[in-house]
């Protein structure tokens, strides 16, 4: 075999042909450029801060409830130094909980509903803005979002001490999780027990038995940081469609059969598609991570290896969908059926917590797990070894299946 028809020369020629055909596909070029620009813009627009404070509205204020009940407290021979020293911060003091005292239940309802906005000045004074009335925003203030409120009866203290039934209304925005609403109900019960001087009717276990896994209180990840792995996977999806379309067109137009009569062999074709697809996906994925700050001097090696495996994984899926379709619509449908489930683990990053077992069984899960660990939690090679081995198993399986299906399709043309 002379140098002009060497194995390396044939593969390089096929790769140049793929690049030329890809460059002529205006649709995928536009989608790639649009995805890169859009992802980067969205990433840098999203806030990078995390507010771990729950703003709890309370009505009436603690002082008002004391004024209503101080006569009764005196009659009960409760020493003044006990109830005069009571304040709402001491009674409802919880880490990450900020109380916003409002003058009436109606005001609290409107605040939670969003028709009245709450602002705090530098001294912590609560200022209200009636949105419907078109009031101006108070200058030099901080906007506070109150999603949950507790409406106490003004005689609440006296009712608790005399064990008189009292109703406390929990007001919550529809977006507030059920778990948070139940937590507010628990706070009211604890509040009542504390005022009545009665211990809680439960024995709390030690704190270390409550917190499962790594405690990230005070170290929460912002939405911007969570988007990094998702964006990397999204750009791989775009390139998967591009490669699948390229393979499908060559099969439908019988370009492969024309190439087989040349010195090219089927393995040349498969190797060229592997190198082209992997390089295309890997390059785009690394570029988007560079633009969003996902690659650092500390994690670059782990991120690059992870992206290489991810690129090979999606190249295998592109081979599967490109070889399976009998026309453009078939190819598009198969690509969607393969790619959409792969996005589920990526979206699970937006909602922290242990992923369900069925999510962990999706081939893209170990790749996302590696990217999350490397770009968000500064995971090391030793910490990522298990996920790396798991990812390699899925890469070998899907890439091998893609090669097999594409090879059989080319042989039957």
Q: Highest mean pLDDT range out of 39-43, 285-289, 340-344, 407-411? A: 285-289
Q: Report the share of the chain in percent with pLDDT over 70.
A: 77
Angle value at C-alpha 149, between 143 and 155, nearest 5 degrees? 130
Q: What's the mean pLDDT in 347-356?
A: 67
CA distance 269 to 165: 80
Of the pLDDT bands very low, low, confident and very high (cuts 50, 70, 90), residue 396 is: very high
Does 116 reside within a domain? yes
pLDDT of 380 strictly over 70:
yes
Residues 165 and 269 in one domain: no
What confidence score (pLDDT) does residue 246 get? 85
pLDDT of 89 strictly over 50:
no
What confidence score (pLDDT) does residue 83 get? 52
The better pLDDT of the pair 22, 285 is held by 285
Q: What's the mean pLDDT in 64-88?
A: 61
Given a contact cutoff of 8 angstroms between Cβ atoms, the answer to whether 10 and 273 are in contact is: no
Residues 167 and 239 in one domain: no
Domain boundary among 157, 175, 209: 209
Does 261 reside within a domain? yes
Q: How many domains does the chain fold into?
A: 2
CA distance 178 to 156: 25
Cβ atoms < 10 Å from Cβ of 309: 22
Does 215 reside within a domain? no
Domain boundary among 189, 209, 229: 209
Which residue range(s) make up the domain with 67? Answer: 54-209
Q: Report the share of the chain in percent with pLDDT over 90.
A: 14
What confidence score (pLDDT) does residue 282 get? 93
Q: Highest mean pLDDT range out of 75-89, 107-121, 318-332? A: 107-121
Residues 188 and 298 in one domain: no
What's the DSSP call for residue 208? G
pLDDT of 370 strictly over 60:
yes
The better pLDDT of the pair 58, 300 is held by 300
Domain boundary among 163, 183, 209: 209
Given a contact cutoff of 8 angstroms between Cβ atoms, the answer to whether 384 and 370 are in contact is: yes
Cβ atoms < 10 Å from Cβ of 73: 19
Residues 278 and 368 in one domain: yes
What confidence score (pLDDT) does residue 376 get? 84
Residues 290 and 355 in one domain: yes
Residues 13 and 69 in one domain: no
pLDDT averaged over the chain? 78
**Residue 136 main-chain phi, psi, to 5 deg:** -75, 150
Least reliable range by pLDDT among 100-104, 176-180, 235-239, 250-254: 176-180
Q: What's the mean pLDDT in 260-277?
A: 85
Give per-residue pLDDT as tens, 4-49. Answer: 468 888 888 888 888 888 888 787 788 888 888 888 888 888 877 6
From residue 378, give the alpha-carbon distance in Å to each of 49, 302, 371, 375, 391. 18, 10, 10, 6, 19
Does 316 reside within a domain? yes
Q: What's the mean pLDDT in 132-138?
A: 78
pLDDT of 217 strictly over 60:
no
Residues 60 and 43 in one domain: no
What confidence score (pLDDT) does residue 155 get? 75
Residues 195 and 60 in one domain: yes
Least reliable range by pLDDT among 157-171, 213-227, 330-344, 398-412: 213-227
pLDDT of 161 strictly over 80:
no
Residues 393 and 293 in one domain: yes
pLDDT of 305 strictly over 80:
yes
What confidence score (pLDDT) does residue 239 get? 83
Of the pLDDT bands very low, low, confident and very high (cuts 50, 70, 90), residue 286 is: very high
What confidence score (pLDDT) does residue 399 get? 92
What confidence score (pLDDT) does residue 255 get? 79
Residues 14 and 89 in one domain: no
Does 214 reside within a domain? no
Residues 97 and 205 in one domain: yes
Does 386 reside within a domain? yes
From residue 409, give the alpha-carbon distance in Å to each of 100, 108, 242. 68, 67, 19
**Torsion, Cα of 17, 19, 24, 28 (10° steps):** 140
The better pLDDT of the pair 82, 236 is held by 236
Given a contact cutoff of 8 angstroms between Cβ atoms, the answer to whether 303 and 377 are in contact is: no
The better pLDDT of the pair 413, 408 is held by 408
The better pLDDT of the pair 392, 70 is held by 392
From residue 91, give the alpha-carbon distance in Å to each of 183, 189, 228, 240, 368. 16, 12, 41, 57, 43
Does 216 reside within a domain? no
Cβ atoms < 10 Å from Cβ of 320: 24
Of the pLDDT bands very low, low, confident and very high (cuts 50, 70, 90), residue 194 is: low
The better pLDDT of the pair 41, 95 is held by 41
Does 202 reside within a domain? yes
Residues 225 and 349 in one domain: yes
């Amino acid at each position: 075999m002379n140098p002009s028809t060497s194995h390396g020369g044939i593969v390089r020629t096929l790769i140049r042909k793929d690049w030329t055909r890809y460059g002529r596909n205006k649709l995928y070029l536009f989608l790639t450029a649009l995805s890169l620009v859009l992802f980067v813009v969205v990433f840098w627009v999203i806030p990078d801060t995390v507010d771990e404070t729950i703003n709890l509205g309370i009505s009436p204020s603690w002082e008002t409830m004391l004024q209503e009940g101080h006569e009764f407290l005196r009659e009960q021979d409760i020493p003044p130094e006990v109830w005069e020293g009571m304040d709402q911060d001491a009674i409802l003091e919880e880490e990450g909980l900020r109380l916003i005292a409002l003058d009436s239940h109606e005001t609290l309802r409107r605040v939670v509903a969003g028709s009245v906005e709450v602002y705090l000045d530098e001294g912590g004074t609560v200022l209200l803005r009636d949105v419907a009335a078109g009031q101006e925003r108070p200058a030099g203030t901080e906007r506070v979002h109150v999603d949950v409120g507790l409406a106490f009866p003004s005689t609440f203290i006296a009712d608790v001490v005399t064990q008189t039934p009292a109703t406390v209304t929990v007001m919550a925005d529809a977006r507030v999780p059920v778990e948070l609403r139940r937590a507010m109900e628990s706070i009211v019960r604890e509040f009542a027990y504390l005022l009545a001087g009665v211990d809680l009717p439960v024995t709390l276990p030690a704190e270390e038995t409550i917190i499962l896994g790594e405690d990230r209180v005070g170290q929460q990840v912002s939405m911007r940081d969570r988007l990094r792995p998702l964006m990397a996977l999204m750009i791989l999806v775009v390139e998967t469609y591009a490669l699948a379309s390229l393979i499908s067109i060559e099969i439908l137009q019988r370009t492969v059969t024309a190439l087989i009569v040349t010195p090219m062999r089927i393995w040349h074709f498969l190797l060229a598609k592997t190198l082209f697809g992997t390089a295309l996906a890997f390059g785009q994925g690394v570029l988007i991570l560079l633009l969003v700050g996902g690659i650092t001097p500390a994690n670059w090696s782990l991120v690059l290896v992870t992206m290489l495996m991810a690129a090979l994984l999606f190249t295998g899926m592109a081979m599967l969908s490109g070889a399976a379709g009998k026309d453009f619509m078939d190819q598009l449908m198969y690509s969607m059926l393969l790619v959409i489930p792969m996005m589920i683990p990526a979206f699970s990053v937006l909602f922290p917590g242990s992923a369900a077992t069925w999510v962990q069984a999706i081939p893209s899960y170990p790749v996302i797990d590696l990217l999350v660990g490397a770009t968000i939690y500064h995971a090391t090679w030793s910490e990522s070894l298990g996920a790396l081995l798991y990812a390699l198993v899925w890469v070998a399986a899907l890439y091998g299946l893609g090669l097999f299906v594409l090879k059989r399709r080319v042989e039957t043309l």
